[in-house]
Structure 1
Amino acid sequence: MREQPVIRAALILLRSDIMIVKQREPQIGERVEVYVNLNKQGLFSILDREPKSKSPTSGKVIAYAESVELEDAVFKISNSKYNGILKKQQRAVCAVVVGKLLSIDGSHPADLTTRVSYNPYRQREFHTDAGESVHVAVRAHFRNKKVYI
């Protein structure tokens, strides 16, 4: 029987922010999915969304970070998970943002000022503070459980 390689988590300090590498270090420009981690307070999970032919970690969480920036962001909500949250009244990840990775743990860009939120008990879609629905954005910056576009 062939032994499986052991993958160890590593802690990397960048500036005053934290990035925890789980599978491998995310590469700038790769397609990823980002969502608020419900168990690791203050961190976002970064999931590899490259095709399986390009990446052996496709579909897996590759890192956690305090802030992330994406370009060509698409805001997605899983209908089945959303309905399960309403039925069970239990927290679960049903809302994600998919896009190309621009930076991890960088400073907040001054031009991204519109705050976007998601709460399945208040509104079915991602929305701005003014109540406008959000489905896509040229750039999105994640910090403090919020997204800025």
Structure 2
Amino acid sequence: MEMVKNRTLVPGQKVRVYLNLNMMGRFSIQDFKTGLVVAYAESVLLNEVEFRVRKSGQEKARKEKCRNVHAFAIGSFVSSNHDCPLELSSTGYYNPFKVDHFVDEESHLPIFETENVFCFQKRVYYKKEEGLF
């Protein structure tokens, strides 16, 4: 993990994580309260996660056929640059040109929230809840 300036990132801190479009294969970790990027990492583990897509950014990406930052995993920071926990075996993704929300890779059903998520290589790994899908 690469920290930005002298900013802090501690376990339990509420953050917004998104795929960095300029540093391929890396995620930006943004403090939820200040909106400042505090770190960059190749992988990020969060808990109590909500997936959010800003409709205006999505519409702009589709209209201009150019990616922009408008989709996030929001949750409490756990760790970064570690292996994916084995129990997070379901895969999801978001592509503004193909889907409206984060979706499960197999079922293509939307994912709005999950207990834990591991962000790695343009994908989110999570555990499907009982009774869903």
Q: Aligned residue for 1:93?
A: 69
Q: CA deviation at 1:26?
A: 1.1
Note the residue ranges of structure 2 that are not aligned, 5 or more in a row.
Answer: 127-133
Q: Does residue 137 of the first structure (1) align with residue 119 of the second (2)?
A: no
Q: Tell me the TM-score normalized by structure 2.
A: 0.90
Query: In 2, Cα distance between the equivalents of 1:30 and 1:94?
Result: 21
Equivalent residue, structure 1, for 2:56: 80
Aligned twin of 1:148? 125
Aligned-partner Cα distance in 2 for 1:94–1:67: 19
% identity of equivalent residues: 32
Match of 1:36 among 6, 16, 19: 19
Structure 1 stretches (4+) deviating beyond 2 angstroms?
none
Mapped to 2, the partners of 1:70 and 1:148 lie a distance apart of 11
Amino acid at match of 2:42: E
What SS does structure 2 have at the residue aligned with 1:132?
A: coil
Shift in Å, 1:144: 1.1
SS at match of 1:123: coil
| Structure 1 counterpart of 2:91, from 115, 123, 129 | 115
Cα shift at 1:25: 3.6
Query: Structure 1, residues 37-90: CA drift from partner, whole Å, max 9, x if none?
Result: 00001100000013xxxxxxx111110001100001000000111111111111
Aligned residues: 124
The DSSP-based 3-state class of the residue aligned with 1:142 is strand
Q: SS of the counterpart of 1:91?
A: coil
CA distance in 1, matches of 2:67, 2:90: 25
Q: What corresponds to 1:22 in structure 2? A: 4
- RMSD between superposed Cα atoms in Å: 0.9
Question: How many Å separate the matches in 2 of 1:116 and 1:22?
Answer: 28
- Paired residue for 2:129? none
* Alpha-carbon shift at residue 31 of structure 1 (Å): 0.2
Give the secondary-structure state (helix, strand or coil) at the position aligned to 2:78: strand
Question: Is 1:47 the counterpart of 2:30 in the alignment?
Answer: yes
